[in-house]
Amino acid sequence: MIQNLKRYGTLMGFGFIVLFFWANLPETFMTARNWLNISQQVSMLAVIAFTMTIVMVMGDFDLSVGSMASLSGITAALLFAHGYPVAVGLLAGLAVGVVGGLFNGFLVSLVGILPFVATLGTLTMYSGIAFLVSDGKTIFGRDIPRDFSGIARSGLEIPALEITVPFLTILALGVLLLVWFLLEHTAFGRRLYAIGGNYEAARLAGVKVRRLRLIAFGLTGLGAALGGLMLASRVASANPTQGSGLMLDAIAAVFLGMTMSREGEPRVLATLVGVLILGLLDNGLTQMNVDSFVREILVGAIILAAVAISSLGKR
């Protein structure tokens, strides 16, 4: 009984949340339209949380993803403002993510700074750079090309079902598939899990721990940048702080997911459940006109409850 509660508590909580909103919002909640809407709302958080899972598999963290998301959005928007084509802005934004991520990896794996401290430092640095290059201003309106903001508005129409699947949702699903494949079905992913299982053992068993850690942080940086570009496209603007809320939510989503595995390991499919729980709460509570501060209290309490239940029976 306790075993099942530990293992499936989070999933049961997810089911309960769905039923709760379904009962309270019978007209609007359980509709394809609303769920597609939710999927688009959570898509940036999802991308960042999925790629955050990659470093958390090794037992590491990346606190800089939020400011990295802002920085990549700003970078792209600045290039747009200077008349560069959309593709250049996108590539530059992603490149900034890779470089920033690799820099985190360099600090953590080669210099040997604790991930918490290293990425706390780069969080502040990346945020400062975003302010510096943008002069602290929001870039919006005519500076943002329609082709760019159109990305978030486009979608795949499925006439038979009379729905349009948002492009951002498809993008997030693509990232999910890639990360899932990488972590669960390649030697690369298995080695990351080995590092998380026992760093020293992995090193002595011939795993190139430093190189893998470097690459993993690079991928997390890339994911953060992609999330930032998606966000900038969706709101058709970029400012130096718009991504900052994403970091805590992404880590929370991975933690919620970790409560679902037997040994408490991050799994990217479980991270998806974590993302959905956060997204559903946001969507449902907003529809029920619940104050956003109350929402925050609820989200925090749910995370604590999930972690507490999953550690039941541990000494």
Partner 1 sequence: MAFLSLQNVSKSYGAAKALDAVHLAIEPGEVHALMGENGAGKSTLIRILAGVTRPDSMEMMLDGARVRINGPQDAYDLGLRFVHQELNIVAHLSVAENIVLGRAYPRRFGVAVDWKALNRQALGALKRLKITHIDPARKMARLTTGDQMLVKIAALLLDDGAQAARLYVMDEPTATLTGDESQKLFDVIRELTASGASVLYVSHRMNEIMAICDRVTVLRDGRHMATRALSDTGREELIHLMTGRELETAYPPRLSPVQERVHLSCTNLSTAHIADIGFDLRAGEVLGIAGLANTGQSELLLALLGVDKPKSGRITFDGQTKRHNPAAAWRSKIAYIPRERRRDGLMLTRSIIDNITLPHLKKFTRAVGVQSARHERAHAAQLARDVALKSDSLRQPAYQLSGGNQQKVMLARAIGDAPDLLLLDEPTRGVDVGAKYDIYTLIRALSAKGTAVILTSSDLPELTGMCDRILVMRDGKQHAIIDTTGLSPADLLATFYD
Point out which residues bind partner 1 (CB under 8 A).
185-188, 190-191, 193-194, 197-198, 200-208, 263-265
Q: Residue 250 and residue 245: Cα distance in Å, rounded?
A: 9
Do strands 163-166 and 155-158 pair parallel, antiparallel, or not at all (unpaired)? antiparallel
Q: How far is the CB of 212 from partner 1 (least distance, A)?
A: 11
Q: How far is the CB of 59 from partner 1 (least distance, A)?
A: 11
Kindly tell me which of 56 and 275 has the beta carbon lying closer to partner 1: 56
Kindly tell me which of 32 and 204 has the beta carbon lying closer to partner 1: 204
Kindly tell me which of 57 and 229 has the beta carbon lying closer to partner 1: 57
Q: Residue 180 and residue 36: Cα distance in Å, rounded?
A: 22
Kindly tell me which of 142 and 315 has the beta carbon lying closer to partner 1: 315
Q: Residue 134 and residue 70: Cα distance in Å, rounded?
A: 11
Burial letters 255-279, b for 16+ CB under 10 A, else e = bbbbbbeeeebbbbbbbbbbbbbbb
Q: How far is the CB of 297 from partner 1 (least distance, A)?
A: 33
Kindly tell me which of 153 and 203 has the beta carbon lying closer to partner 1: 203
Quickly count: other Cβ atoms within 10 Å of residue 198's Cβ.
Answer: 12
Phi, then psi, of 92 in degrees rounded to 5: -65, -40
Q: Which amino acid is at 123?
A: L
Q: How far is the CB of 290 from partner 1 (least distance, A)?
A: 39
Kindly tell me which of 145 and 197 has the beta carbon lying closer to partner 1: 197
- For 44, the token pair is 């940036």
Q: How far is the CB of 308 from partner 1 (least distance, A)?
A: 20
In sequence order, which residues have a C-beta less than 8 Å from that of residue 265 and are 6 or more positions away? 57, 193, 196, 258
Burial letters 76-101, b for 16+ CB under 10 A, else e = bbbbbbeeeebeebbebbbebbbebb
Q: How far is the CB of 311 from partner 1 (least distance, A)?
A: 14
Q: Residue 284 and residue 21: Cα distance in Å, rounded?
A: 6
Q: How far is the CB of 116 from partner 1 (least distance, A)?
A: 21
Kindly tell me which of 139 and 202 has the beta carbon lying closer to partner 1: 202
Helix axes 32-56, 65-81, angle to 10 degrees: 110
